[in-house]
Amino acid sequence: MVKISNINTIMAKCNICGAVLEFELGEVLSKDEILGYRETLDCPKCGCISRDRGLIWALSNCMQKETPLFELKNNQNLKILESTGLRTYPKILKEKFDYFNPRFSKFTPLLKMFPNKYADLQRLFFKDNKFDFVLASDIFEHIRLDDDAFSEIFRVLKPKGYFLMTVPFNYSLEQTIEKIKVIGNKDIFLSEPEYHNKGVKDGGDSLFYRLYGKSLFKKLTNIGFNVGYLRIQIPKYAISQIELFFCRKNTLPDLEDISSTNLVLKKEIFRS
């Protein structure tokens, strides 16, 4: 159970490394609900943040019902693709599964020669129907041609596979706000450019192209995905409110099975 003490910590279990520890809330926005800690609540043991635990919660639910990552059965036949997975959970995924975690590159020869090391989701050098899971943790807001990237993920995903995504998303927006208009090779800025980690060489300088609104569902179903949308908050795992997208090719995502109602703040299914 969750104990919220008066020193702004929350007792919880990390569903990645299994540690049961006090997680610091940091800048307190709301103590009753642990809203607003999507990018924080760092696990004192493994260093993963709330968003990582949300994504891994989605992944483990698609495999073995909410089993923490460190307890999932090893299966080296299970192929998982992520692009630029950060912090420590990729190491555990690598130990258990056939996990590909290539870093972004634009350089075509590298993409072709070392697809396990370098990838551009807009043009992947993997064969069709290769992966059981594709993970995307807050990267689509930075992808210039997101339709191309969604289509490529659709292509490389196995028919019964899952594409699991987190992304900055505003449910109250009908339409995605495009911050940059993309025309041919040109980027036309419609508002002040916004970056992640500006000036940081390694993985930094990620430009924000957009903030997704509900038109994202249409975008995904147009590509052929059936989309399950969950907004969750799981204090026992120190998972602050987060939106999860469960996308499948031919099958509907089984959200009934995935979620017990008290954790789920919103649930919807969109068919292709």
Q: Which spans of this chain sit near Zn ion (rule: CB under 5 A)?
A: 14, 16-17, 19, 43, 45-46
In angstroms, what is the minimal distance from the CB of 242 to Zn ion? 16
DSSP state of 123: B
**C-beta of 46 vs 153, nearer to Zn ion:** 46
In angstroms, what is the minimal distance from the CB of 224 to Zn ion? 35
**C-beta of 44 vs 204, nearer to Zn ion:** 44
In angstroms, what is the minimal distance from the CB of 168 to Zn ion? 23
Q: What is the CA radius of gyration of the chain?
A: 18
In angstroms, what is the minimal distance from the CB of 49 to Zn ion? 10
**C-beta of 17 vs 232, nearer to Zn ion:** 17
**C-beta of 42 vs 141, nearer to Zn ion:** 42
Sorted by sequence, the CB contacts under 8 Å of residue 88 that are 6+ apart come out as 16, 17, 46, 47, 48
Q: What are phi and psi of 71, to 5 degrees?
A: -100, -5
- Residue 146: closest CA among 193, 93, 215, 78: 215
**C-beta of 22 vs 148, nearer to Zn ion:** 22
- Residue 50: closest CA among 239, 265, 242: 239
- Residue 104: closest CA among 91, 117, 89, 86: 117
CB distance 54 to 232 below 8 Å: yes
In angstroms, what is the minimal distance from the CB of 46 to Zn ion? 3
What whole-number distance in Å separates Cα of residue 77 and Cα of residue 190? Answer: 45
